[in-house]
Amino acid sequence: MSTDALGNAVTLEREASLAPVNDFVEGFIASEARAVNVLQAQDDPGAIVQAYCAALHMFAETGDAPRNARPFLEKAQASAARATMREQRFVAAVAAWVAGDIARAIALHEEQARAFPRDLASLKLGQYHLFNRGDAPGMLRIALAALPAAGDVPFLHGMLAFGWEQCHFLEQAEASARQAIAMRRKEPWAHHALAHVMLTQGRLIEGHAFLQEVSSTWTGLNSFMVTHNWWHQALFALDLEHFEEALAIYDQHVWAEVKDYSQDQVNAVSLLARVELAGGSVGNRWQDLGDHLARRGHDHVLPFLDMQYLYGLARAGREDEARALFASMERHAAQLPADSAPAWQRVCIPASQGLLAHARGDWKGAIEGLGAALPRLLEIGGSHAQRDLFAQVHLDAMLKGGSLSGAQDLLQQQVRTQPESRRLKRQAAKVYAALGLPALAATFF
C-alpha cells in the first residue's frame, strides 16, 4: 500500500495515481492550483481519488456543484469497502457535504483530526465548513487536535494562525503565522492570517509593507488565494487612501483571474464597494462584474455569497436581476431545515433588504435592515474583515441618512483602534463638522 506526501496510507488501483493524489493533498493545504491535477487520475476507481475529485467539484460553490460531484462520489462509495478507515471517513464526509448535511460533515472531519491528525486535507476541509458556519472556536479546535502529530508541516501552523485570529487571539495568531513563514516563506495562508492580525490591530503601514514583500511568492496558487491576498493588500491601501493603488490591484489581480468563480466575484464586489464607500470612484467597473454576477440567480450555496452577489448586481444597476435574486433567496430561505434556516431567514434576508435599500439610496431602509442583522452577522460565515463590508455599508447609510449621533458612536471607536486609517479619520472629521464640533473635526488632520 502507498502513502501520500503526509504519510497517510492510500488505497489506489494504479501506481501512477499517487502523484496526482499528492498534488491534491499538498496543493489543497498550500492553496496551490496543482490540487486540480487529481482529475488526471479520475479513471482510478480508488475511493480516495474519487472523493478528492468530488470535493473539487463542490469547491466550485455553484448550484450545480452537487450534481457534478455525485458521479465521483458514487464511485468512491462503491470502492469504500476496500479502502482504509481514514479514506472511508473522508468519503463519508464528502457525501455529507454533497447531501447538504454540513453538521455531519464537520463531525466527521473532527473525528478524522483526532484519529488521523496528519490528514491535513481533511482538516483543511473541516475548517472550510466551520468557517462558513461562523464557528471560529471549531476552526481552532480542529487545528489544535492535529498539532502534536503534524507540527512539522508549515501549512498546519497557517491553519492554526487563522483559527487563533478568528477567535481574537491575535498574539497567538501572529506567533503561529510567523512560525509557518519561518518554516516555509511561501505560505500564503499564513500571510493571509498575519494580514488579518495587522489590519485588526491597526498596523496598516506595516501590513501593507509586509504583503508587498511576500507577494512575490504568490505564484502557482489557486485563484482564490491570489485574489484574496491581493484584496487584503487593497484594504491596507484604501485605509491609507491610496485609491489608485487599490484600483490597480483590482484590475491587475482581484478581477484578473477566474471571473466565473464565486470567491473571485465576492472579492471584486467587496473591493469596488469599499472604494466607493471610502469616497473613491470606480468608473465603469461594476458593469463587467455585473455581467458575471447575473448568472448567479439561483445558486444559494452560502448566504455570505448571495448577499454580495445581490449588492453587486444592485450597484451595477441591474435592478431586475437583483430583484429576481432577492425573491429567489426568500423562497430558498423559507424551505430550509431548522439547522440552517436562521442564518438565512433572520440574518441574510434582513441584511439583504438593507443592502438593496442602500444601493437604491433608501438610507432609512438600509439602516433598519442591516441594523437588525449586524449583531448576528457571524452566522453567515466569512471573516471579520470580509463581514466589515456590511458594517461599512450600514455606517454609510447612517452618515447619509443623518443618523449622526449613531455614526459618531461607531466611528470614534474605530478611529481609536485604527489610528493610521486616513479613511476613518476623514469620515470622523465630516461627522464632527456636521455635529457642530469643528474643533474636534480639526484634530484628525
Percentage of the chain beyond pLDDT 90 is 97
At 438, list the grid cell. Answer: 469643528
Which of 190, 48, 184, 39 has its CA nearest to residue 122?
Answer: 48
Instruction: Say how many domains are in the chain.
Output: 1
Is the pTM value of this prediction over 0.85?
A: yes
CB 226 within 8 A of CB 233: no
**Cα 255 to Cα 9: distance, rounded to the nearest angstrom:** 40
422, pLDDT greater than 80: yes
**Cα 66 to Cα 324: distance, rounded to the nearest angstrom:** 23
337, pLDDT greater than 80: yes
Q: What are phi and psi of 17, to 5 degrees?
A: -75, -15
**Cell 492553496 found at:** 31
Asked if residue 433 belongs to a domain, the reply is no
**Cα 63 to Cα 296: distance, rounded to the nearest angstrom:** 8
**Cα 401 to Cα 413: distance, rounded to the nearest angstrom:** 20
445, pLDDT greater than 80: no
pLDDT in the model for residue 297: 79
Q: How confident is the model at residue 22 (pLDDT cuts 50, 70, 90)?
A: very high
Distance of CA 163 to the CA centre of its chain: 13
26 CB-near residues (< 8 Å, 6+ apart): 5, 32, 34
**Cα 173 to Cα 157: distance, rounded to the nearest angstrom:** 9
Beta strand segments in 49-135, E: none
Q: How confident is the model at residue 378 (pLDDT cuts 50, 70, 90)?
A: very high
Can you tell me the mean pLDDT for 208-234?
98
Asked if residue 420 belongs to a domain, the reply is no
CATH of the domain at 19: 1.25.40
354 CB-near residues (< 8 Å, 6+ apart): 365, 366, 367, 368, 369, 370, 371, 372, 373, 393, 394, 397
pLDDT in the model for residue 103: 96
Asked if residue 86 belongs to a domain, the reply is yes
Q: How confident is the model at residue 128 (pLDDT cuts 50, 70, 90)?
A: very high
Can you tell me the mean pLDDT for 233-245?
97
200, pLDDT greater than 90: yes
Asked if residue 281 belongs to a domain, the reply is no
Asked if residue 434 belongs to a domain, the reply is no
Asked if residue 32 belongs to a domain, the reply is yes
CB 72 within 8 A of CB 42: yes
pLDDT in the model for residue 198: 98
Average pLDDT, rounded, for the chain: 97
Can you tell me the mean pLDDT for 234-259?
97
Asked if residue 7 belongs to a domain, the reply is yes
Q: How confident is the model at residue 444 (pLDDT cuts 50, 70, 90)?
A: confident
**Cα 56 to Cα 93: distance, rounded to the nearest angstrom:** 14
Which residues are paired to 3 by β-bridges? Answer: 9
Asked if residue 127 belongs to a domain, the reply is yes
Q: How confident is the model at residue 1 (pLDDT cuts 50, 70, 90)?
A: confident
pLDDT in the model for residue 400: 95
Domain hosting residue 33, numbered range:
1-133
pLDDT in the model for residue 405: 96
pLDDT digits (tens, 9 = 90+) for 392-420: 999 999 999 999 999 999 999 999 999 99
pLDDT digits (tens, 9 = 90+) for 139-157: 999 999 999 999 999 999 9
